[in-house]
Amino acid sequence: MIRTIIRKEILLTLKDKGAFFWLFALPILFIVIFSSIFGSAGSTTYKIPYYDADGSAASGQFLDRLGEIKGFALEAYEGDSLDEGIKEIRDGSRSYLLIVPKGYGQMVDAGQPAEIELYRDAVADEAVAPVLALLDSVSASYHDYKLRSILAGMGQNEEAIDAMMLPAISIKEVKENATKTNAVTQIVPGYTVMFVFFIMINMIQNLLKDRRSGMLSRLQGTPMKPIHYLIGMWVPNVLVVLIQSTVLLTFGRLVYGLQLGNPLAIALIVLGLAVCATGIGLMLALLVSSENMGIAMVQVIAMGGAIVGGLWFPYEFLPKVVQTIGLFTPQYWAQKGMQDVMIRGMDIGGIGLTLLILFAFGLAGLGVALLRFKKFALKTT
């Protein structure tokens, strides 16, 4: 009897073209769009529009030094006038404009402090921050050069000057991740986890359809136990999620070079995620009063869990309150487990807690479904 139910569910899923769109086409589309937008975030080049009102050798030297720094590219402002460029900033059509004012070269030649002007949009803090950091760095290098000249004029040799100019604090960068991280390591597993939970829509529709058709009422008069029926409805959807996750992760590997890490560890996380999402789907199907309510609840669980679980943005970027809430969602643990394997090189031994939580969510959902089954089956509307 369980085989018959499993076969029925598989055939219904294969006939449902809408399910293929939600579970395969749409997540691939999201991965492509967001990988295209953010995929090159690690190699971003900041373009700095500038206007050289001085035109001196000193201003040219300053701009050449800026242009040599990796990650930044200078672009001469092509507007008709400086006033037009400033107006663009006021209008919000430009974030910033670097200006070398007239007289800059004279001030430098005279050994006097010279100013560089950065006109900016007051609300574009994030866009301007890297440029400000760059200008501060270049300003510091000019300051160091001036100090070296003064010390040399006082008769200090190069060795002594180097010792005096050593920074009091140095920063040592120590990378602990086994694999290079980029936007793809956030996007592909993130959207894979998010769209897995849309399988619940299919489960709600099929369970409610069985009740409306009278199938569940008829089953009540047979020796078949509720657990057998629920397993029959559960297993096909677990298989669909396993296929869905495999397709999406393989797509990320082939198209974007996503490093999957330990294959067995990833496979176990995918299995745990499949059990989790479909177990919650069983529970939800037996708790909601209508198909529309069920779809609305799926949207809340899938989208809300994606936000607080760190699927859309790195978890560390979220507010502390949101991070705390995220700890109670299966999406957080699935994403964390995948990134532990993909980025940090963990194997099965390092994802035990993740697997425990994912399977616990799924089995808890099955338990609630069992408790609700009799009441659900006897309900006629």
Q: What is the pLDDT of residues 94-108, one digit of tens each?
A: 899 999 999 999 998
Of 20 and 344, the structure prediction assigns the larger pLDDT to: 344
**What per-residue confidence (pLDDT) applies to 23?**
83
**What per-residue confidence (pLDDT) applies to 164?**
83
**What per-residue confidence (pLDDT) applies to 176?**
65
b/e map 203-221, b = 16+ CB within 10 Å:
bbbbbbebbeeeebeebee
- Res. 39: pLDDT tops 80: no
For residues 267 and 249, is the Cβ–Cβ distance under 8 A? no
Q: What is the pTM of this model?
A: 0.76
- Res. 36: pLDDT tops 90: no
Using alpha carbons only, what angle is made at residue 318 by residues 316 and 322, rounded to the nearest 5 degrees?
120
Q: Mean pLDDT check: name the lowest of 70-79, 285-294, 342-351.
A: 70-79
b/e map 267-284, b = 16+ CB within 10 Å:
bbbbbbbbbbbbbbbbbb
Partners of 97 in the beta sheet? 119
Place of tokens 């009278």: 214
For residues 282 and 238, is the Cβ–Cβ distance under 8 A? no
DSSP state of 227: H
Retrieve residue 358's tokens. Answer: 């994912």
Query: First CA to last CA across the chain, in angstroms?
Result: 26
**What per-residue confidence (pLDDT) applies to 377?**
85
For residues 196 and 241, is the Cβ–Cβ distance under 8 A? yes
- Res. 175: pLDDT tops 80: no
Q: At what angle do helices 263-287 and 330-342 cross, to 10 degrees?
A: 170
**What per-residue confidence (pLDDT) applies to 92?**
85
Retrieve residue 190's tokens. Answer: 């993130």
- Res. 330: pLDDT tops 60: yes
Distance CA 54, CA 51 (A): 9
| pLDDT (mean) for 355-368 | 97
Of 271 and 9, the structure prediction assigns the larger pLDDT to: 271
Of 240 and 70, the structure prediction assigns the larger pLDDT to: 240
| pLDDT (mean) for 59-74 | 89
45 contacts: CB under 8 Å, gap ≥ 6 = 71, 72, 73
Kindly indicate the confidence band of residue 44, based on its pLDDT and cuts at 50, 70 and 90: low
pLDDT-above-70 percentage for the chain: 95
- Res. 24: pLDDT tops 80: yes
The rounded mean pLDDT for the chain is 89
- Res. 174: pLDDT tops 70: no
